[in-house]
Chains A and B, each alone.
Chain A
Amino acid sequence: DSGVTQTPKHLITATGQRVTLRCSPRSGDLSVYWYQQSLDQGLQFLIQYYNGEERAKGNILERFSAQQFPDLHSELNLSSLELGDSALYFCASSAGGLDGYTFGSGTRLTVV
């Protein structure tokens, strides 16, 4: 157990729908990062939050949004889903600095 909790583990939904992915960071970590990994692809950075505020944005679509709450958990909202949004979505957390990130086990999203 990495200490980063992601729910749900699996999600199947139809095109056009909206889903919310949830992440609880490791205790004490203020930064939360969201990544998308499509089949056999690398990790694409979506967005970072630090202590409730957006800090950095990557290749995040306008249909996607995220937020970090006062208790530091984060949610990634995906709307108007398309087949191409099917992927593994990872959350990671860090305390900052140079020690890297700790990843959750991911949410596998399948859009049908």
Chain B
Amino acid sequence: GQQLNQSPQSMFIQEGEDVSMNCTSSSIFNTWLWYKQDPGEGPVLLIALYKAGELTSNGRLTAQFGITRKDSFLNISASIPSDVGIYFCAGISYNTDKLIFGTGTRLQVFP
């Protein structure tokens, strides 16, 4: 099925470091969403973006909706151990409510 390209595939960082991941698509999306999945749990919505160029923060998380509407990035500042998990981007196309998910970025944080 259709998926968004997400990079990097995995990251191993030290506690306190900043993290950046991005998502690209060949299609235009009207909405970009970022989810986090803890081990053995369902994905939980972190941030939603609705306008091209929009920059939105949620605590230590910042996400941007790319100007071309074909990409988005997520930054996590000052990482902590509980940031461990899989981060998924997701896009919604115009005139549909179907979410297309990225391939995921697996984040490991070492103390």
- Using a CB–CB cutoff of 8 Å, the interface residues on chain A facing chain B are 2, 4, 31, 33, 40, 42-45, 48, 56, 58-59, 90, 92, 94, 96-106, 108
- Using a CB–CB cutoff of 8 Å, the interface residues on chain B facing chain A are 1, 3, 30-31, 33, 35, 40-45, 48, 50, 88, 90, 92, 97-104, 106
Contact partners of A42 in chain B: CB under 8 A: 3, 88, 101-104
Q: How far is the CA of A96 from the CA of B90 in the complex (A)?
A: 15
Contact partners of B98 in chain A: CB under 8 A: 45, 48, 56
Select A103's contact among B30, B42, B50, B102, beta carbons within 8 Å. B42
B1–A59 contact, CB under 8 A? yes
Chain B nearest CB: distance from A103 CB in Å?
3
Nearest 8 pairs of A and B residues by beta carbon:
A103-B42, A98-B31, A43-B101, A100-B33, A42-B103, A59-B1, A105-B42, A103-B43
Closest-by-CB residue of B relative to A98 is B31
Chain B nearest CB: distance from A96 CB in Å?
5
Contact partners of B104 in chain A: CB under 8 A: 42
B50–A98 contact, CB under 8 A? yes
A104–B42 contact, CB under 8 A? yes
Select B1's contact among A48, A58, A90, beta carbons within 8 Å. A58
A97–B97 contact, CB under 8 A? yes
Most buried by B among A92, A97, A98: A98
Contact partners of B31 in chain A: CB under 8 A: 98, 100
Most buried by B among A43, A92, A101, A102: A43
Q: How far is the CA of A98 from the CA of B40 in the complex (A)?
A: 26
Select A45's contact among B1, B43, B102, beta carbons within 8 Å. B1
Known: A42-B88, A102-B45, A105-B42. A31 touches B102 (CB 8 A): no
Question: Contacts A100-B48, A105-B40 given; 14 further ones with Cβ under 8 A?
Answer: A2-B44, A4-B42, A40-B106, A42-B102, A42-B103, A43-B101, A45-B101, A98-B31, A100-B35, A100-B90, A102-B45, A103-B43, A105-B41, A108-B40
Contact partners of A43 in chain B: CB under 8 A: 43, 88, 101
B97–A31 contact, CB under 8 A? yes
